[in-house]
A and B are shown apart, each in its own frame.
Chain A
């Protein structure tokens, strides 16, 4: 069974540009969550999607947005990039979202490392 895949793995952008990251969940998983990892703030929850609907959102500015498609694949977009957006962006998929149920573990992808110059 293929794991969570994220593309691209590495990305370099300049300030003011926008970027789109992609996440393909494990087959059959309907929930996709996004996390930002930086040396200063650590791992922070961005948002979660289930059945094409954003169900949960972290404390990030509106420049961060996302969507989920009918095949459960998800994209996140960051507009007007700032230097502080440089981070590893991790995607996690699970069957139904949340953390209840031992069958409902979150599986993480390898991440996309975004560098903003």
Chain B
């Protein structure tokens, strides 16, 4: 399964809403879709698993939704620490796949 993320870069201001898309080439089991955040020089951090379940310690401004081949990560109000690269990931047929990432930068 190939994952495509859009847009490649999202330029927004603090306080704005961010909507990130992840599209799969085939249907993904909802329980098998996750989102990660990565800041420069840091390891990735799990944000969302099972399409919509926030990982421990993740603020509720982060939410995930979707089904089938279309999934969305929403950041309701961007804070300064949210400017980063976001990756979706799926698991299927005993393989993990990451999307190419969406960079959220400051406008």
A and B bind: no
A residues with a Cβ closer than 8 A to B are: none
